Structure formats: structure tokens, C-alpha cells
Amino acid sequence: MKKERRIRLLIKLTFVFIIFAFIAFYSSAVFLTNEADEFINISLEERFGKTERKIYHHILRGDSLEKVSHFGVIKPLADLPDTNNYPVFSDTTIYDEDLDLERVYKKKTTIIEAGGKYYEITILRSIDDFMRLREDIFGSLIPAFILLAVSFVVFSYLLSGYYFRPFNKILELMKTYKVGQGAEVKSVNTSTLEFNKMQDLFHEMIYRIENDYKRLKEYTEHMAHEIQTPLAIIRNKTENLISDNSVMDKHSETVKIIYEETNHLSKLGTTLNLLTKIENNEFNNAVNVFTKPVIEKHISAVSEIVQLKSLSIETELNEKHFLFIDPILLDIIIKNLLNNALNYAANNEPVKIKTGKDEMIFSNSGEVLPLPEEKIFERFQRNGNSRNSLGLGLALVKKICDLNNLRISYQYLNSIHFFIVKDS
């Protein structure tokens, strides 16, 4: 999948806003300049018209041309030139000595007829003021636009933290939400409609999830619990059959299988029940427990089995290592990790248990796993078809670790399996 660039919403909005503002400013600048040009033309036309009429009247009155020369250059014409070529407009700059600057003039050359004679008159008009007006339009719009854009960027940068705080808080709640913690999730106060909508939706979703989860869990709980009594009865009845020679002589194999499978099912039910209880957080008397005595207790419980299996256990236990956990749960963790190590340990190779300052490691040598490493903590992933393994031990350990802020990891190095429990 192509990775798109991710841009923050407010930055995006600011960017779009600036583009729009630019277009608005630019078009109004163009509009205003056009208006100004039109205004300049109209007022120039008016002034030129007035001057032409004054000259006309002076000539009619018979005043000498010198007397009206301050209006412009007036040349009498012998013939009527081609009037199609007139009037002629042009811009020109003239150096003004008094002000020591170049001034811009508009020049109009036209033909007038007065007293039966034709005159070519050329008149000038300074348009400095007009030009300045025109420049002022750009001169004021550009800084205004820049000021607006800069302040917008700065504000959006500064305010994005403030206005998005509720949003980030809601995200944080979503991130930390875990199924099964109950529908009570803190709400974040916000006056922003969108964030409120999102939050409401989030709460509704949690409510639905929690409901479904509760129902599913109840179902599992009931199932696991309710099968226990029928199983106990089946087992007892089977034990009756085992004591009956006339049955056993004919059907010993069948009875044996029924008995074994019933036992298996019964253990499964019990363990699943335990798993649900752990999930329900019913073991919540967490205290700081030193691991050394607990590990030693479990080692002594299995010492006979270890000996009969020709295995050995080597320990390197730190007296100060402890975990913050309910002691019952610690028992389950250690028992299962130990059983797992003993189950899969290669003969004549020691099972090692080591506790350091902040970690507890169970290791045993053995063949490489026949299943993907990441599946090792999943339920019912057992190595081979061992009848004695329920396939729940490591899942149980993982569940307990997850619920008690512990991290369990698995590694396979130099033909040795490592299970490492750490504070997370």
C-alpha cells in the first residue's frame, strides 16, 4: 500500500484557508485596480474636456495663442488632417526641478475647430496622485494578506494543542480501554460537537462490546461449571464398571477410553473455569511476593517426578526478586512454567530456573517448536499429541501476566527454550 503523507487537520485547514484568502485578496486587488483605472480615465477625460472647452472659448474670443499657452501647446493647422488619427493619448514623464523627481503625465493630442479654423492642441495632466492611489491598493492589500496568513498559522499552531486536548484525551481513553473492564469509561468534557459525537459513539460501542462480552463470558462460565457434575457422575459410574469383572473382561478397552476422556474433559472444564475466574479478576489480593520460596516449594513438590524422569533442576535464585501479584496466581504461573519445562525437557539436560533483579527465567533444552513462536501462548497449541497436556498451561500463564502488568516472552536460542517473566 502506498503510504500517504499525514498532515494535521488544523494545518490542513489553515493551508486551505490561506489559499482561499490569497484568491480573495488577489481578486479584490485586481477589481480595485480596474475600478481605479476607470476612475482615473473618467476624471482625466473630464479635465481634458474642460481644458479643451476653455481653449475653444479663448480662441473664439480672439485671444492670442500666447495667452492660452499655459493650457497646452496649440498649433493652428492649414488643412483639416485626418481626424480618424485623433485624439492621441500617451504617457510621458517630465523632470520636475522644484520637486527633483520624475512626474508622470498623461498627454492628449486632439483637433478642435474654432471660428472656422482648425487647431491641434496638446494638453498634459499630471497623474501622479492617481498612480499613487493605484499603488496604495496593492501596498495595503499585500501586507494585510501577509499579516493575516502569518497570524493564522501561528494561532492554529498554538491553538491546535488547546482545542485538540479533549480529542487527544478521548484517544487516550480509547487506547487504554480493555475489554472486560466494565462499561464505566471516564468522559471528557468538550464543547466541540464532533468530539462529543465521537465520544458518544465510543461509549455506545463500549456498552455493546461489554454486553456481548459479558454474555459470552457467562456462557463459558456456565458451560464450564455445569459440565462438572455430569462428568463427575459419568466418572463414578465408569469406576463402578471398572470394578465389575464381567464388564471388564469384555470391554476393558472401551471403559478405559471413556474413563480417560472423561477425566480429560473434566480437567479441561476446571481449567477453563479457572481461566474465567482469572479474567474476572477474582484473584485480586496482590501483594509483593518473594519468588524464591515459592519456586523452591514447587521444585520440592516435583522432585520425585524429576528424579524418576532422569531430569534435574538447576536454580540460580535471587532472594530479593519479587512480583506484585496475588500469591495464588504466582503459584499458577510457576507451576505451569515448571511443568512445561519438565514436560518438554530433553533427557539428561537440566531445567534451569533463574531469577535476577527484575526477571524470572525458566529454560529447558529441547527440539525446536513444531508451531509458530507467536502461537505458543495461544490456547490448545500443544506440542504433539500428549494426552496429559491440556494445551492451556501457557495460555493461563499469559493471561495472568497480562492482567498483572507482567510481560512474558518466549525465545529459542541454541536449542534452549526460554520463558522470561518481567515487570512491564
Check if the beta carbon of residue 76 is closer than 8 Å to that of residue 92: no
Q: According to the binding rule CB under 8 A, does residue 266 interact with other proteins?
A: yes
DSSP conformation letters of 351-381: EEEEE-SSEEEEEEE-PPPSS-GGGTTSTT-
Site for other proteins contains 270 (CB under 8 A): yes
* Residue 308 interacting with other proteins (CB under 8 A): yes
Choose between 153 and 328: whose C-beta lies nearer to other proteins.
328
Q: Counting beta carbons within 10 angstroms of the beta carbon of residue 363, is it exposed (0 to 12), middle (13 to 18) or buried (19 or more)?
A: buried
Residues 385-414 that bind other proteins (CB under 8 A): 386-390
Report the C-alpha gap between 342 and 306 in whole angstroms.
Answer: 8
> How far is the C-alpha of 198 from the C-alpha of 171, rounded, in Å?
10
Question: Does 255 contact other proteins by CB under 8 A?
Answer: yes
Helix pair 9-60, 128-163: axis angle to 10 deg: 170
Told to check if 280 binds other proteins by CB under 8 A, we report no
The residue among 64 and 245 lying less far from other proteins, judged by its C-beta, is: 245
Residue pair 229/269 in contact by the 8 Å Cβ criterion: no
Q: Is 236 in the site for other proteins (CB under 8 A)?
A: yes
C-alpha cell at 24: 480573495
User: Quick one: which of 47, 217, 235, 422 contacts other proteins (CB under 8 A)?
Assistant: 235
Does position 312 interact with other proteins (CB under 8 A)? The reply is no
Q: Which stretch binds other proteins (CB under 8 A): 18-26, 31-39, 170-178, 234-242?
A: 234-242
Q: Which stretch binds other proteins (CB under 8 A): 152-160, 238-246, 360-368, 399-407?
A: 238-246
Cα–Cα distance list, 392 to 257, 319, 376, 387, 419 (Å): 22, 30, 10, 13, 16
For the bound state, the minimum distance from the C-beta of residue 203 to other proteins, rounded and expressed in Å, comes to 34
Q: Which uninterrupted H or E stretch holds 71?
A: none
Burial (CB count within 10 angstroms: exposed 0-12, middle 13-18, buried 19+), residue 302 = middle
* Given 65, 104, 112, 328, the residue binding other proteins (CB under 8 A): 328
305 lies in the site for other proteins, by CB under 8 A: yes
In the complex, the residues that contact other proteins under the rule CB under 8 A are: 225, 228-229, 231-233, 235-237, 239, 242-243, 245, 248, 252, 255-256, 259-260, 263, 266-267, 270, 273-274, 277, 283, 301-302, 304-305, 308, 328, 335, 339, 342-343, 386-390
